[in-house]
């Protein structure tokens, strides 16, 4: 057995042992090798088996990260003021390499003037400039880059002063020294992206995202995002929910829908999201060039394969007409019903300049919900909580599927509200059916009663807001299906609450058998699924499904007898993904007095049924 502690003080060693509740006796008995590190960030790890390791890294608070960056920028600014000159970012130089492979919003490669110099703000705005001043969505115009998904998300920030100031704080050293801080949530933690204020240009105009006024905020945010991804070219193609998450640190969801969606239900959801201060955008489907679909969209002034910010909602004529206000990132504008309705009332526009009045009518429009459902196919939504306390940490897992696992333990000292988010870093398997289950702890610290469950087909999942009374709870994260090979996973966790964590809640990870995860999902099926078949004193077949997938569970009630289960997919749908427990083997035993998830179905297309299956149950013949 090995035991290592790296710490700056003896008190930190004691704190580690107390915090993670691990004793030397426990380590000796179980023959685990344990490694603890306490240097700047709190980290702990230990191998579970010769092939398995586990590590959790707790990140500093965003306040600490922001303050540290601001202090460094102030020091750098003093040096520039003493010697003259302005800041140039050596990590994102003004050259063709930083531009990358440029694809325009028309899908064409752009090779023109890639080595032209980048200009400071004073070259674009001869009469003075500001970072932002009373920003509006119609100030923003997409440039020569196919990043409408990002532009739509940026347009959503314009009237969210608190969020805009959070992302791009106004600092005196930005104007006189060219030092810009952009705060983004990257890889599960907050980072301050430090850039300079030089912007790519072509023939004296901003090459990419532009502002119709003398404000620079939108172009600076786009530049910082490009730096995170490596080049401007890497901004081509994406989804607005990802940008929402990077801007807010909160989970952004992509919600597909069809033309047959219930308009009453959709409107109810829209108003609920809007009332909760959520960021919202919508996207149109993609069509082949010169196809009938593309021609139809062109005829009504809607771009295909394009993202639009959702800015406002209103009901007219006693609710008979329900209208959605969308923003335009380019020159295309809706030509159908309600397109001539003024973007804003007179008590708002009377403060605008003539140019702003013209821009707001050109860059925004109203569309009725029936037409919206006809031409759009996807909603992006993000509910953010800037003022809530949060704890961010990253879980690194390298294990065999059947090895022991680690489950988050929460000790709550007073009743409070929570939101928990978990994101799985991208891997070769892409999206999964994710479960995030909240269990009450038993008296002997086992995973007990299922209290809440949340599920989503994605690479990340978030709970809704929920309350916990004082007590101990376990948070089980599980992705389905589980693959047979060695699993290497990085999970980014965020736990949020309106109350501070240091006095009201503690977080820890506890080792459990891998079967605990299976049992947690089985509890979901038993509690929320339907009984498809019941044979007295022999078997029960359960079916659980949501909008994306279906799970089938078989429970063997017999005391001594095994049963064999065969599940066959009877659907011919090419969009249906189908797994059973054993690849290519359709029969397997369910032991006496046990439960087993025997099949999983997932549809890659929204609005399609989960498929039809044939289940055969065989009994041994003696």
Residues marked active site are found at 148, 306
CB 256 within 8 A of CB 397: no
Is residue 439 within 8 A of residue 468, CB to CB? The reply is no
Confirm if 198 and 94 have CB atoms less than 8 A apart: yes
Q: What are phi and psi of 375, to 5 degrees?
A: -110, -15
16 neighbors 37 (Cβ within 8 angstroms): no
56: helix, strand or coil: strand
- Residues with Cβ within 8 Å of 79's Cβ and at least 6 positions away in sequence, in order, are none
Taking the C-alpha atoms of residue 186 and residue 4, their distance in angstroms, rounded to an integer, is: 31
Residue 555 near residue 565, CB atoms below 8 Å: no
d(CA 400, CA 487): 6
Q: Which two tokens stand for residue 245?
A: 């998450």
Strands 3-6, 34-39: pairing is: parallel
- Strand 52-58 vs strand 102-103: parallel, antiparallel, or unpaired? unpaired
Q: Of 273, 158, 263, nearest to 221 (Cα)? A: 158
- Measuring CA to CA, which residue among 163, 168, 166, 156 is closest to residue 132? 168
Q: Which helix (H) or strand (E) holds 533?
A: strand 530-535
**Closest to 316 (Cα-Cα) out of 267, 254, 273:** 267
* Tokens of residue 115, six digits: 């080595």
CA dihedral 368→372→375→379, nearest 10 degrees, is 170
Range 191-220 burial, b when 16+ CB lie within 10 A, else e = bbbbbbbbbbbeeeebbbbbbbbebbbbbb
Q: Does residue 249 contact residue 185 with C-beta atoms inside 8 Å?
A: yes
The torsion angle over the Cα atoms of residues 500, 501, 503 and 509, rounded to 10 degrees, is 170
- CA dist 83 and 63 (Å) reads 31
Helices (H) and strands (E) in the chain, counts: 17, 36
- CB-neighbour burial class of residue 28 (10 A; exposed 0-12, middle 13-18, buried 19+): exposed
d(CA 162, CA 144): 29
């Amino acid at each position: 057995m090995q035991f290592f502690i790296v710490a700056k003080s003896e008190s930190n060693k004691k704190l580690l042992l107390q915090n993670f509740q691990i004793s030397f006796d426990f380590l000796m008995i179980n023959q685990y090798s344990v490694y603890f590190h306490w240097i700047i960030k709190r980290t702990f790890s230990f191998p579970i088996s010769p092939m398995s390791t586990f590590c959790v890294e707790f990140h500093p608070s965003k306040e600490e990260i922001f303050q540290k960056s601001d202090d460094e920028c102030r020091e750098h600014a003093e040096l520039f003021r003493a010697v003259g000159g302005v800041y140039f970012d050596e990590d994102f130089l003004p050259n063709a390499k930083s531009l990358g492979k440029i694809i325009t919003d028309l899908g064409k490669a752009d090779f023109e003037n890639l080595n032209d110099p980048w200009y400071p703000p004073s070259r674009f705005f001869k009469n003075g400039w500001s970072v932002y001043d009373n920003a509006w969505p119609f100030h923003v115009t997409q440039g020569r880059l196919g990043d409408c998904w990002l532009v739509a998300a940026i347009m959503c920030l314009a009237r969210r002063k608190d969020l805009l100031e959070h992302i791009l704080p106004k600092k005196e050293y930005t104007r006189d020294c060219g030092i810009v801080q952009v705060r983004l949530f990257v890889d599960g933690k907050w980072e301050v992206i430090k850039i300079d204020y030089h912007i790519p240009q072509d023939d004296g105009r901003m090459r990419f995202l532009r502002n119709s006024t003398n404000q620079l905020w939108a172009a600076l945010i786009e530049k910082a995002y490009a730096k995170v991804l490596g080049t401007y070219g890497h901004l081509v193609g994406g989804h607005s929910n990802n940008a929402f998450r990077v801007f807010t640190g909160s989970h952004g969801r992509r919600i597909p829908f069809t033309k047959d969606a219930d308009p009453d239900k959709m409107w109810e959801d829209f108003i609920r999201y809007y009332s909760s201060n959520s960021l919202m955008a919508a996207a149109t489907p993609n069509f082949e060039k010169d196809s009938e679909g593309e021609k139809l969209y062109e005829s009504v002034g809607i771009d295909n394969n394009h993202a639009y910010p959702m800015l406002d909602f209103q009901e007219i004529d006693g609710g008979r007409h329900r209208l959605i206000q969308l923003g335009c990132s380019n020159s295309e504008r809706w030509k159908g019903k309600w397109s001539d309705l003024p973007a804003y009332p007179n008590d708002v526009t009377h403060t605008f300049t003539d140019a702003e009045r013209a821009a707001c009518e050109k860059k925004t429009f109203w569309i009725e919900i029936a037409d919206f459902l006809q031409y759009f196919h996807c909603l992006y939504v993000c509910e953010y909580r800037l003022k809530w306390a949060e704890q961010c940490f990253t879980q690194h897992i390298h294990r065999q599927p059947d090895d022991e696992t680690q489950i988050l333990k929460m000790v709550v000292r007073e009743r409070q509200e929570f939101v928990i988010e978990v994101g799985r870093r991208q891997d070769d398997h892409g999206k999964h059916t994710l479960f995030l289950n909240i269990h009450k702890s038993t008296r002997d610290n086992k995973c007990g009663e299922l209290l809440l469950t949340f599920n989503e087909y994605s690479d990340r999942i978030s709970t809704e807001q929920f309350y916990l009374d004082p007590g101990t709870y376990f948070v089980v994260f599980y992705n389905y299906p589980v693959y047979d090979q060695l699993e290497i996973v990085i999970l980014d966790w965020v736990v949020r609450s309106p109350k501070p964590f240091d006095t009201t809640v503690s977080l820890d990870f506890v080792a459990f058998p891998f079967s605990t995860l299976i049992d947690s999902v089985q509890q979901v099926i038993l509690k929320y699924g339907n009984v498809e078949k019941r044979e007295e004193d022999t078997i029960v077949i359960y079916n659980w499904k949501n909008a994306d997938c279906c799970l089938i569970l078989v429970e063997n009630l017999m005391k001594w007898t095994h049963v064999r289960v065969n599940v066959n997919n009877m659907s011919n749908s090419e969009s249906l993904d189908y797994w059973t427990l054993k690849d290519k083997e359709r029969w397997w035993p369910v032991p006496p007095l046990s439960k087993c998830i025997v099949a999983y179905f997932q549809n890659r297309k929204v609005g399609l049924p989960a498929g039809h299956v044939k289940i055969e149950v065989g009994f041994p013949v003696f």
